[in-house]
Structures are given as structure tokens and as C-alpha cells.
Amino acid sequence: MAKKKMTIDEQVAYLMQGAEYGDDQVKKAMAAELKERLLQAEKEKRPLKVYCGYDPTAPDLHLGHTVTMRKLRQFQELGHEVTFVIGDFTSLIGDPSDKDKLRPRLSPEQVAQNGQTYAEQSFKVLDPEKTIIRHNSEWLSKLTFKDLIHLSSNFTVGQFLTRDNFAKRFQNNEAIYLHEFYYALMQGYDAFTLDADVQIGGSDQLFNIVTASRKLMTALGKKPNISIIMSILPGTDGEIRMSKSLGNHIVITGDPKDMYGKLMSIPDKAMGIFSRLVTRWTPDEIKSFEEKISSGSLHPKEAKMKLAREIVTIYHGQKAAEKAEAEFVRVFQEQGQPEEMNEYKLKKGQSVLDMLQESGLTESRSQARRLIQQNAVRLDDQILEDPHAKFPGKGVLQVGKRRFIKVI
């Protein structure tokens, strides 16, 4: 985190940390614009106006969602004005940016409920006293058909068809609906309405932010905002983007011991991107961290423990992180069992498969079957091999490497 007053160049390095545009020239141009805007703001003695929009498509946030929030927090640390935009209006359309097919639209009730949860969970990263919460229905719902035609006139269909996801669907003769084009226009109008100096988003938002928002702001007579495009956080597999549907996610409201264990399971090669995107460390601290790993002065296991401890501390506090680490060492390095574990009262005639799902140790019956096939389900010292067999009885049930429950 920012611990001392930074020079403008240090601020630029800090705020561009983790940014990725797929083009070095674009990144250099954005860094130069950011430096110029910071100098201007310093001269005018005003904070920069910074925002990021979040479509509340699901109730729970995982670490991947927090990457842009971490960047907003960095701007807060440096004294700038941060707005957290809940996309309650854009959610009704559905963002097609990272989808190869039409995204289902949510009901207003779903959006409202998820939006409330997002705002509450965001304060695990953001400073609630320094965060402005806005809903883009405030301005988007007031646009007329005439306004929409005016906004649309600044873009060509060809510009949208150059986007990878639309191009794939077009080549495969899959439907591309006209309303999907409006999403980028609405995001650009968000930036215009907020008079934003800086807009933050993931790399799946590259077109919406770098092209649409800047072009629309210019067309409507405002200085285009600076686009900070963040890299996508991989999941626990270290390869594919973190996603609940893929099961490689780490929820931020989950058990700290589970969070610590999942972070310890990421491959060594992913430590660098995790340190850049979801820790409070400065560029110098990250550089030192990676150099120590490369030189061998910091063992990968110790490095990963340091990383896990930092991330768990952010969401659960230092004491919980220390306790989670002690538990991890005891269970996985000393081959012991957790000192504390949940209890489950076995039901009469319950099968192994039923018990695994109903106890919450697995998210689905298919996952339970897969773990049983992998010999990853054990009651005390007995491996449970038949998913349909009657559950043996009382004892400590272990599923995989990290999950334990006391069966009573």
C-alpha cells in the first residue's frame, strides 16, 4: 500500500501496476496521459475523478472481481475521488464483452438484490467513507430515443464487428442482437455523465473503455478519460480466468482457512500476477518479492505463504490470517487434522454421495463422484470408493486436501 508521499512518476508506476492493453504503445500513451492529468490536478489542487462500473450479475464476489476495486483503493490512498457505479441499468441488457453468445438478462429484482450485496462486499477493499456509490439507472433511464440515435451516430457497425466475440459469432452465423451494441454506448455515457478523469476496467472491457468511452466523451465535448485496463486474474489453476462456474474461484467472504488453503494451491508461476493484482504491495515491494524468488533467497513455499497471509489479512484481518496459516502448517506440513471443524449429524441410511452433497463438502453430486473416483474421500483411515454405498458411520471425514468435517 502507499506508505509515503510519492513523486508523480512513482504515482504513475503505482497506478499503472497490473495494467494490460495488449499493446505497449497504448500502455505508454495512457501512462503519459495519466502523468499529465496528475500534474494538472496537482496544479489545480483538485482530486481526479475516478470510477469503475460493476454489473451485479451474481450475489457473491470472488478475488477476480476485486482487481479493479484494488485499483480504486490505490487512487483513494492518493487522495482522489472514487465512484463505485452499480450497473443496475446496464445489467438489464447484459455485457457481451467476454461472451461468445448472448448473455441472459436479469430481472430488476435480481439486479437490485445483487447490487446491494456488491456495495457491501466492496468495502472489504474500498474505504467506505471515501467511496461514492451511484447507480447508472439515474441517468441512463432518462435517455430518449432521440438521444440514443445521437449517441449511436458516433460509431459504425464495422467497429463493433472487429471485436473478437462478435467476430466469432458472426463467422459462425450466430445471432448478434442490436441491443448488445448499446452496452458500449451506455458505458461511454456513464463516463460522460460522471465527468470522469479515469475509468477502470478489466481487459475484457478494452473496447468499451478505450474506444467507446473516450470517443463518446470527445464527441460530447469533454476531455476523454484515461483508461486503466487491468489484467484478468487467473483462477486457482493459474491458467483460466477466475470463475465461479469453473470452480477455480476464491470467494472473499468465505472461511479464512479455506481462502488460505486455496491460495497455497495456486501454481508457483501465478504468484507474480496475484501479487500485482490483489495485494496492497507497492511496485518496489513486488519487485523485491519476485527477485527473491528468482534468486532463491525466498523459497517458493515461503513466498506463497507470505502471499496467502497478505491476501487473507485484507479480507479477514491479521489474527484470522495467522490462525489460518498455523492451521495450514499443522494439517498439511505436519499431516495433522484441524483443531476445529464443523460437525454433521449423519442421517439414517444415507449414502456416501448424499452425505457429501448435503454436508456442503462438495458443490454438486458430479464433483462428489469425481473426488470419490480420485480416492480423495477418506473417513479416518478408510478410503471411501463406492458413492452409492451406505455411509460407514461416525468419524473425521476428509475430502481432498483441505476439507474436514466431524461426522456424529
Residues 245-292: tens digit of each pLDDT: 788 899 998 899 999 999 999 999 999 999 999 999 999 999 999 999
Helix boundaries (H) for 200-317: 206, 214-219, 256-264, 271-278, 283-295, 300-316
Residue 225 identity (one-letter amino acid): N
Task: Please report the pLDDT score of residue 99 as a whole number.
Answer: 47
Average pLDDT, the chain: 88
Highest averaged pLDDT of the listed ranges 31-35, 237-241, 391-395: 31-35
Mean pLDDT over 349-360 rounds to 88
Contact by Cβ (8 Å): 262, 250: yes
Contact by Cβ (8 Å): 20, 203: yes
Task: Please report the pLDDT score of residue 4 as a whole number.
Answer: 65
Q: Does 195 or 335 have the greater pLDDT score?
A: 195
Q: Is the pLDDT of residue 401 over 80?
A: no
Q: Is the pLDDT of residue 137 over 90?
A: yes
Q: Cell triple for residue 273? A: 500476477
Q: Helix 300-316 crosses helix 256-264 at what angle (to 10 degrees)?
A: 150
* Per-position b or e across 353-380, b if 16+ CB within 10 A of its CB: bbbbbebebbeeeebbbebbeeeebbbe
Mean pLDDT over 210-216 rounds to 92
Mapped to the 3 state alphabet, what secondary structure does 61-93 carry? CEHHHHHHHHHHHHHHHCCCEEEEEECCCHHHC
Q: Is the pLDDT of residue 181 over 80?
A: yes
Distances (CA, A) of 408 to 58, 134, 214, 341, 394: 34, 49, 61, 12, 5
Q: Is the pLDDT of residue 100 over 50?
A: no
State the pLDDT confidence band at 39, using cuts at 50, 70 and 90: very high
Task: Please report the pLDDT score of residue 320 as a whole number.
Answer: 96
Q: Is the pLDDT of residue 3 over 70?
A: no
State the pLDDT confidence band at 12, using cuts at 50, 70 and 90: very high
State the pLDDT confidence band at 140, using cuts at 50, 70 and 90: very high
Please give the Cα distance from 397 to 392 (Å, whole number).
Answer: 11
Please give the Cα distance from 188 to 197 (Å, whole number).
Answer: 13
Q: Name the nearest CA neighbour of 340 among 320, 360, 357.
A: 320
Task: Please report the pLDDT score of residue 26 as a whole number.
Answer: 94
Q: What is the pLDDT of residues 289-301, one digit of tens each?
A: 999 999 989 999 9
State the pLDDT confidence band at 1, using cuts at 50, 70 and 90: very low
Task: Please report the pLDDT score of residue 339 as a whole number.
Answer: 66
Please give the Cα distance from 305 to 315 (Å, whole number).
Answer: 16
Within 13 A of 184's CA, how many CA atoms are on the CB side? 29
State the pLDDT confidence band at 50, using cuts at 50, 70 and 90: very high
Task: Please report the pLDDT score of residue 205 as a whole number.
Answer: 87
Q: What is the pLDDT of residues 65-84, one digit of tens each?
A: 999 999 999 999 999 999 99
Please give the Cα distance from 5 to 318 (Å, whole number).
Answer: 25
Q: Nearest 5°: CA angle at 96, between 90 and 102? A: 105
Strands, E, within 68-165: which ranges? Answer: 81-86, 131-135
Task: Please report the pLDDT score of residue 98 as a whole number.
Answer: 47
**Position of cell 489460518?**
324
Q: Helix 283-295 crosses helix 300-316 at what angle (to 10 degrees)?
A: 150
Q: Name the nearest CA neighbour of 241 among 65, 90, 100.
A: 65
Mean pLDDT over 157-182 rounds to 85
Task: Please report the pLDDT score of residue 101 as a whole number.
Answer: 46
DSSP 362: S
| Structural domains for the chain | 8-230 (3.40.50.620), 256-333 (1.10.240.10), 343-407 (3.10.290.10)
Q: Which of 27-41, 194-208, 386-400 has the lowest mean pLDDT?
A: 386-400
Please give the Cα distance from 191 to 369 (Å, whole number).
Answer: 48
Please give the Cα distance from 214 to 160 (Å, whole number).
Answer: 15
Please give the Cα distance from 156 to 146 (Å, whole number).
Answer: 18
Q: Give backbone dihedrals phi and psi of 107, rounded to 5 degrees, phi first.
A: -80, 155
**Which pTM was predicted?**
0.77
Strands 377-379 and 382-383: antiparallel
